[in-house]
Amino acid sequence: MRATAFGHSAYKCYLSHALLANNATGTTANSCNNQHITCPNGNYTCLELSQPATMNPNDEIASQISSSIKLEVEGKQHGHLSLPHSSNESAWGSVRIPITVIKNGSGPTVTLIAGNHGDEYEGPLALLKLANELNLEDINGRLILLPCLNAPAVASASRLSPIDNKNMNRCFPGDSNGSITDKIADYISTSIIPESDYVLDLHSGGKTLDFIPLAAVHFLADRQLQEKAENAMIAFGAPNSLRMRELDDRGMLDTMVETAGKVFVTTELRGGGTVTRESLQIAETGCRNFLVHTGILQQELVLASTRMLEMPEENCFVVADCHGMLEMCSFLGGPVYKGSVIARVHDFENTGRAPREFIAGRDGILMARHFPGLITPGDCLAVIAEEVPR
């Protein structure tokens, strides 16, 4: 079994009970500068560890993910993160996550992530194109591109991983001994984010939500960090910029990155389980603008006006409490008024019954809406944001 953090491998040696009884520790063999475990018969296994370690078959490995590239190497590298995964289809298979790293000069490290959910396409397309288009001489610093982070979900066009049915963006900081999704989240938390100065995580509404295109930051207790994040959000140049609250921020990549003191920006770029030319163009331009803002990419900002929005309270969310067929009564991006009917849900199994009406609890802009035609109790029906001055 093997764990790798960008080229520094570690192997767990499952020793005999006799060796364990001797409390064997790592020693250095004369023929190699790496650390080894010396066995009673004189043989040894190279551990490539920086310090001697007591070996125990129950020791935990930091990560089972290996990388075909090295973060510290100058140049442009395309490769994969690989995680062993035995399945009915492939006994000795693996999950492969594409990654590109471009390192040139001494600028900051910027990480761009997409495919956190597998049914959101603007981000993956934008980063796949960026990986092809950017050259080494374009970059001053280090750029890490992860276009399809939740690779199993992307391959199945699903929000959750089809392997363990987990939401990647509720699994951070992850668990090296958990399921596939937990292990990927752990690797990002321990090997990628500590190396990063800025993080952009690209999202859209997936199959079940449709958003006005926006870049977003969270309300943070650290005002200096929030100011840096807001400046990066404005530089992204989406038509809308949002200070947001989450229904539940536990387990999110956002929360983990912000807690680590890194500048974090996210997006919601339409949705409905597809991608439009308009939404992809916003993603592509925004990624380059973000890189220019950080100082890692030497080109001009593509300036664009942005409408500033906030989600100040929980009544920004309108949640369904019944089954039925959805009739939206407000236009996406248009105004809504407190007390007005924002949507109706019709009983499609019976005629002659009045629809259930949902009332806006505040004035604002219809920022997001449920996308499918049918809705069930607990579904987010709409999100109302408030327009505020810059």
In the chain, % of residues over pLDDT 90: 79
pLDDT at 51: 44
Parallel, antiparallel, or unpaired for β 94-104 and 75-84?
antiparallel
Instruction: Find the angle CA(109)-CA(123)-CA(297) to the nearest 5 degrees.
Output: 35
Instruction: Find the angle CA(249)-CA(255)-CA(257) to the nearest 5 degrees.
Output: 160
CA distance 294 to 81: 26
pLDDT at 343: 98
Q: Identify whether the C-beta of residue 365 lies closer than 8 Å to the C-beta of residue 346.
A: no
Q: Identify whether the C-beta of residue 40 lies closer than 8 Å to the C-beta of residue 61.
A: no
Where do the domains of the chain lie?
Answer: 2-46, 66-309, 314-387
Q: Which CATH homologous superfamily contains domain 66-309?
A: Zn peptidases (3.40.630.10)
pLDDT at 62: 63
CA distance 68 to 102: 14
pLDDT at 27: 35
Give which of 103, 68, 50, 71 is closest to 192, Cα–Cα: 71
Q: In what order do the strands lie in the sheet with 324-328?
A: 356-359, 341-346, 324-328, 374-375
CA distance 385 to 365: 5
Residues of the chain where predicted confidence (pLDDT) is lower than 70? 1-62
pTM of the predicted model as reported, rounded to 2 decimal places: 0.84
CA distance 25 to 123: 47
Q: Identify whether the C-beta of residue 328 lies closer than 8 Å to the C-beta of residue 308.
A: no
Q: Which CATH architecture has domain 314-387?
A: Beta Barrel (2.40)
Six-digit token string for 325: 């067929």
Residues 6+ apart with CB under 8 A from 161: 118, 150, 152, 153, 168, 180, 181
- Three-state DSSP class for residue 4: strand
CA distances to 156, 247, 369 from 317, rounded to whole Å, are 29, 8, 10
pLDDT at 248: 80
CA distance 330 to 359: 11
Radius of gyration of the chain from Cα atoms? 24
Residue 107 CA to chain centroid, in angstroms?
23
